[in-house]
Amino acid sequence: MKIVNGVKILLALLMGMTTLGGCTSKISDSSSSSSVTMSLDEFLSMYGSGSSSSEEEEEQEKVTATFKNYDDEILYTTEVIKGDTVEYKGETPIRPSDERVRQYTFIGWDKPLNDLMVDTEFIAQYLEDLNTFTVEFKNYDDTLLYTDTVEYGGTAEYEGDTPTKPGDERVKTYTFTGWDIDLDNVTTNLVAYPEFDEELKTFTVEFRNYDDTLLYTDIVEYGANAEYKGDTPTRPSDERVKAYTFTGWDDEEELNNVTSSRKVTAQYSEEINTFSVEFRNYDDTLLYTDTVEYGGTASYKGDLPTRPGDDRVENYTFSGWDNEEALKNVTSNRKVTAQYSEELNVFSVEFRNYDDSLLYTDVVKYGGTAEYKGDTPTRPSDERVKTYTFTGWDNEDLLSNVTSNLVMKAQYSEELNTFTIEFRNYDDSLLYTDTVEYGGTAEYEGDTPTRPSDERVKAYTF
């Protein structure tokens, strides 16, 4: 803003000006007695005018807009009036590709360009076209099974046939289980090889009692260890021994790293009288035998008992033993039987229309009753039948006590179409009308038709 030149006027007055305006002004010079006379216009011309800044607009406030690239490089800077919209006039921003992104495409800025109120930095934004990599899936023998193309950081997927590997002298069957590398977060070309579970060849290991009776036969994979899963071997007491207790087999080392069929024999230590508690399944098969000293408590340490489903029951769930009290204070040999809760089988009953279209499906437990809850079945009329009326299902007696999947078909009563048969005389006069159902036979029940004689015909006979 400019300063008014009134200071100059004030200085002139102090130096001796006496009169300003339309009259002359006298300025005295202290160094002489002379005086100078000038007009106001001449004075202002000499000392300046004081009228400029009050008539000019104040300069408006501005803010700075700085445009930067992804790496903070300044691309363009400009000033705009506060509140205005900034315009970028630099070159189109670019960003070089990298290992993850094949191409970056500029799409705009991280903030809106309008209504700029403060100094602001704008950062360039880019659309990413990711790099892609090849993942080859090869079999154990290096044959190529499938190739997948994956974007940087993506997950490779195998969509080929399940890899296979033929058996050999050690392995009976190879079963594919997965791949040898992580297929997630792919950042380079990869080769994946399948991994297989091995079903090894098997051998027979016979577990025999002291008297060479066969107790149990274990089928063992090549190189595995044989395991006895039969009843605990027993040997009857005699006058010298109160009880024989099984302690193992005569050659335990033969049970390890089995590579051929073999036989082992039960060994016993001598103990006091003990009692056997047998844990048996629903079909009386032996699940586990616990040997308990007199007064002791039997405990089950076998596999969880199971029972297969049947027509009536889908799942049996083990719930305990039939006589839990018998497992306490054992003083004799005894047996307990596994008990199960039952989850009944369920069956579907399909209700179908005359044209076999499905109307409704009910799901029923074994022995339950199926119920139709759909819309009333309908059947359109045809040239023979005027109206079909739903009457029920073709095997309604099967809807109660359901024991298998069923299909019910809708049944209808028929109201046949009827037709009018007019019996007319020779002169088209109506003699009789009969109403006949589709496919029926019309009958005339009127008077015998007659025709009067004329000059040509003596008598007409019907």
Higher pLDDT, 46 or 26: 46
**pLDDT tens-digit series, residues 391-408:** 999 999 999 999 999 999
Which residues are within 8 A (CB) of 242 and not within 5 positions of it... i.e. 6 or more apart? 270, 271, 272, 273
For the chain, give the mean pLDDT.
87
Q: Is the pLDDT of residue 304 over 70?
A: yes
Main-chain dihedrals φ then ψ at residue 113, nearest 5 degrees: -90, -5
At residue 11, the 3 state secondary structure works out as helix
pLDDT confidence of residue 240: 57
pLDDT confidence of residue 37: 41
Main-chain dihedrals φ then ψ at residue 357, nearest 5 degrees: -70, 140
Residues 39, 26: Cα–Cα separation, whole Å? 10
Q: Is the pLDDT of residue 364 over 80?
A: yes
Span of 166-170, 255-259, 305-309 with lowest mean pLDDT: 166-170
User: How does residue 93 score in pLDDT terms, banded at 50, 70 and 90?
Assistant: very high
Burial of 63 (0-12, 13-18, 19+ CB in 10 A): middle
User: How does residue 271 score in pLDDT terms, banded at 50, 70 and 90?
Assistant: confident
pLDDT confidence of residue 6: 42
Beta carbons of 438 and 419 less than 8 angstroms apart: yes
Burial of 359 (0-12, 13-18, 19+ CB in 10 A): middle
User: How does residue 239 score in pLDDT terms, banded at 50, 70 and 90?
Assistant: low
